[in-house]
Amino acid sequence: MALGCKYGTHRVIEPVGAMPQTAQRINNDMSTIWDNEILLDVIALNVDSASFTQIEEEAGGDPDKIGQKIMSIVGERGKQQNPVTGSGGMFIGTVAKIGPALKDRDLKVGDKIASLVSLSLTPLKIKRIIKVMPEVDRVMIEGQAILFESGIYAKLPTDMDEGLALAALDIAGAPAQTAKLVKPGDSVLVLGAGGKSGLMCCYEAMKRVGPTGRVLANIRNEKYVKPLRDMKLCHEIVMADSTKPVDVLNGVLKANKGKEVDVVINCVNLPGCEMASILPVRDNGIVYFFSMATSFTRAALGAEGIGKDVLMIIGNGYTKDHAEITLWELRENAQLRAFFEQQYVK
């Protein structure tokens, strides 16, 4: 076939002219591929946390119904894009075919890779669902997917289990962005610190703030207290519901000697946490919204409503070298790696 658009617009069915991520429906025909596409046999989907949580609640926690909902979404849209959250996730698969225009890639048929672009823009066809794993937001499938020319990916490392690598790469943008945003001496609040992205961000923030900085971990469930303390991932724990911004603010002020923080990293997988991110940060501070449950309208208008002049950063899941940075965290911290293996290798 001829060359398609490097960004995949040639696969958009409706609305015409849209990008694949914003499109309502894309072409997931896998029988032929364009010269600048890569065809993959998909093994597993890691649905993003906000999306999986919403689907799981809608399905009443029933794994069969979760699987049926995912099949329905992909059948309707040609991609795994939750119609409520708008988000997707990522996949693990083996390379089945490489378009002739991409032959110079450091990739060959049979290589096992993790996609680092969202399922919300990835043409996907599911033949059958093998297993739904709610405890790790994962779905084992038999199916195929397409990576466009612009699509990024990571070869799976040989020194760790696939499930461990998948869990880390799924949230690779968060700790890598934390590494860019946090500087020595900063005070940092991580909302949703008990989840995998939260734990990784806490670890990265502790590295970056140095001896004069301070990292506060917000959780609302006591079960996360022990791992956070055992792994020394924060200086203080703020127990508060992140949907209640004043409670979060009061907890932060108490834990941070009466001061607002310099940086807030939002890793919560629930909606309604925008103001808990904005209220505790100082004027001219930074808020990084990694959570795909964020309403950026609520965030913008909320900051305006309380007169906070803060830099608010959309949670771009990609930043340069994010896969390498995140996998290296697991290599350099044996405790964190062991915890992730216990929680996410099934």
Convert the pLDDT of each residue in 280-293 to its tens digit.
999 999 999 998 88
Whether a cis peptide bond, with omega within 30° of 0, leads into 83 is no
Percent of the chain whose pLDDT exceeds 90: 86
Q: Per-residue pLDDT tens for 318-340?
A: 888 899 999 999 999 999 999 99
Arithmetic mean of pLDDT, 18-41: 97
Phi, psi of 320 (to 5 degrees): -55, 130
Q: Are residues 263 and 187 in the same domain?
A: yes
In a domain, 2, yes or no: no
Q: Residue 223's pLDDT is what?
A: 94
Domain count, the chain: 2
The rounded distance, in Å, linking the Cα atoms of 49 and 334 is 24
> What does the alpha-carbon distance between residue 18 and residue 326 come to, in Å, rounded to a whole number?
32
Residue 178 lies in a domain: yes
- Is a pLDDT exceeding 90 seen at residue 166? no
Largest CA distance in the chain: 64
* Statement to judge: residues 180 and 140 lie in one domain: no
Q: How far apart are CA 171 and CA 301, in angstroms?
A: 27
- Averaged pLDDT for residues 35-39: 97
pLDDT at 2 over 80: yes
Q: Are residues 319 and 183 in the same domain?
A: yes
**What is the pLDDT averaged over residues 196-205?**
96
- Average pLDDT taken over every residue of the chain: 94
Mean pLDDT along residues 210-225 = 96
DSSP state of 248: H
| Of 69-73, 155-159, 251-255, the least confident | 155-159
Average pLDDT over residues 297-311: 96
Note the pLDDT of residue 218.
98
Whether the predicted pLDDT of 120 surpasses 80: yes
Pair 179, 44 in one domain: no
One-letter amino acid identity for 189? L
Name the residue among 297, 234, 245 with its Cα closest to residue 268.
Answer: 245
pLDDT at 346 over 80: no
Is the pLDDT at 344 greater than 90, yes or no?
Answer: no
pLDDT at 118 over 90: yes
* Residue 252 pLDDT grade (very low, low, confident, very high; cuts 50, 70, 90): very high
pLDDT at 69: 97
Whether 126 and 245 map to the same domain: the answer is no
Q: What is the mean pLDDT of residues 274-285?
A: 97
Q: Which two tokens stand for residue 66?
A: 């979760």
pLDDT for position 163 = 85
* Shared domain check, 137 and 240: no
8 Å CB contact between 171 and 200: yes
Is the domain of 139 the same as that of 61? yes
**1 pLDDT exceeds 80?**
no
Residue 271 belongs to what domain range?
173-344
The yes-or-no verdict on residue 83 having pLDDT over 80 is: yes
According to DSSP, residue 10 is labeled G
Would you say residue 125 lies in a domain? Answer: yes
Residue 3 lies in a domain: no
Q: Are both 63 and 207 inside the same structural domain?
A: no
Q: What is the CATH number of the domain that holds 198?
A: 3.40.50.720
Strand pairing report for 124-133 and 138-148: antiparallel
72 burial type by CB count under 10 A (0-12 exposed, 13-18 middle, 19+ buried): exposed
Residue 208 gets the label, from left (phi > 0), alpha (psi -120 to 50) or beta, of alpha
Residues 68 and 94 in one domain: yes
Which 8-state DSSP code applies to residue 231?
Answer: T
Residue 317: per-residue pLDDT: 80
> What is the CA angle 23-27-32, rounded to 5?
150
CA distance 31 to 125: 11
The confidence score (pLDDT) of residue 162 equals: 86
- 33-42, 159-168, 220-229 — which is least confidently predicted? 159-168
Question: Once rounded to an integer, what is the mean pLDDT over residues 134-144?
Answer: 94
The pLDDT value recorded for residue 232 is 96
- pTM, 2 dp: 0.85
Q: Which residue has the higher pLDDT, 213 or 270?
A: 213
Closest residue by Cα to residue 268 from 48, 121, 25, 119: 48
Contact predicate 322/176, CB 8 Å: yes
